[in-house]
A = this chain, B = another copy of it.
Amino acid sequence: MRTKFHDQLDALFDQLTAMCRLAGDAVTTATDALSAADLTLAEKVFGLNERIGALRGPCEDQAMALLALQAPVARDLRQVVTGVFLVSDLSRMGDLAEHIADSVRRRHPHYVAQDRTQHLLISMGRLAGVLATAAALVLQTRDPALALALDVTDNGLDDLHRDVLTLIQEPGWGGSTIEAVDATLLGRFFERFGDHCVEVGRRVIFLATGQQLPQ
């Protein structure tokens, strides 16, 4: 009976890892779309987010079934509850990637951002993709040491986000208000994407140790 529980729990974490990988593909594809003002790539992101959305319901049902049928306690209980939380974070990551792709679609055939603004946003997107890949590995291994490293990488993303906001508010920036609005939102979407990756790590640490990390 316990073995069956652990098999089902592993199956749940496999699904969560798949959701996280898809979210990483989505943010990387959205960044490629942004980089090249490419509508086809932008539309590919909507498809990826649909696949993430399609995994959400089954994951939540799987977690509920584990709770209802197996009545787990202690560490097992923590793993299932963590799984329930993670579904929210991973779905949100897919939505954020879709928001980025949506900006590309809205401005097509024009570029959403230019020059140094574009460069910083693309760097944010690349780092967001790295974070998602690392978060998927954390989910796969449930290793708290790997989870802690996510936070450090996310600091780099926060620095880039600050650079974007500083740049567009400089007197000599020269972009339009529309470009300022777009850059503000894109910066925010990438930053939040990173926050959710860190949250994945935070939850895996809780799962492994039972300790809540400070927010």
On A, residues with C-beta under 8 Å from B are: 53, 56-57, 60, 63-64, 67-68, 71, 73-74, 77-78, 81, 84-85, 88, 91, 165, 168-169, 173, 175, 177-178, 180-181, 184-185, 188, 212, 215
Contacts and interface: CB of A to CB of B under 8 A. Distances in A.
Given A56-B215, A85-B88, A181-B184, 14 more contacts: A53-B215, A67-B81, A68-B74, A68-B77, A71-B71, A84-B84, A168-B177, A173-B177, A175-B177, A177-B180, A180-B181, A180-B184, A181-B181, A184-B184
Give the interface centre of A57, A64, A67, A168 by most chain B CB atoms within 10 Å.
A67
Contacts of A188: 185, 188
A71 B71 CA distance: 5
Give the interface centre of A78, A181, A188 by most chain B CB atoms within 10 Å.
A181
Contacts of A215: 53, 56, 91
A57 B215 CA distance: 11
A84 B67 CA distance: 13
Contacts of A77: 64, 67-68
A211 to B, nearest CB: 11
Nearest to A71: B71
A73 B81 contact: no
A212 B60 contact: yes
A91 B212 CA distance: 14
A64 B81 contact: yes
Nearest to A178: B169
Nearest to A78: B64
Nearest to A189: B188
A50 to B, nearest CB: 11
A68 B57 contact: no
The 6 tightest CB contacts between A and B, nearest first, are A71-B71, A184-B184, A180-B180, A177-B180, A181-B184, A169-B178
